Amino acid sequence: MSIRQSLRTARRKGQAGFTLLEAMVATTIMAIAVVGLLSNISTSLNTASRLADYDQAAMLAKRQMEHLQSMPLQVGQVYSGTFPRTATDDLEGGWAARVEPFEASLMGAGAVLDRIVLEVWWSRNGQRRTVLLETVRAVIPTSPDVGSRYPNG
């Protein structure tokens, strides 16, 4: 066997594997795919965190609304407060509620309906977010002239 024949045989055997260029292209494609997947995972985690914050705020809002419904509230008055950090998983948060006349009720006994509008807010990473709840409740006015501020139902 001559030297030329052995070189040709060696070249053919070397062609069975990957070239350096092919390996680099494959590595680049894999790197782009991995970066894309990591970006999607990061976005998903941020979305899950934001949804958890909304769930917690909705729970706090419901609790605060139940508390407000159980108290004597004055129409036209604004009530507000903050939530303790332990109740909000270390979120800075608070609430503001206002009471508005809704309508004179047809329920009898001189009852009227008050609308309670509750806004719960919290901050995460410098962004302020809010949840808004509304409800109505029947109230018997303490004086007869109070009913004149309510539209008739």
User: What's the pLDDT at 105?
Assistant: 62
β-pairing, 92-104 with 78-82? antiparallel
The one-digit pLDDT tens for each residue of the chain (153 residues) are 666 665 566 555 555 677 888 889 999 999 999 999 998 998 898 888 888 888 888 888 999 999 999 888 888 889 999 988 766 667 788 999 999 888 776 655 677 888 999 999 988 888 888 999 999 988 877 766 665 666 665
The four Cα atoms 9, 10, 16, 19 give a dihedral, to 10 degrees, of -140
User: What's the pLDDT at 111?
Assistant: 78
User: What's the pLDDT at 65?
Assistant: 92
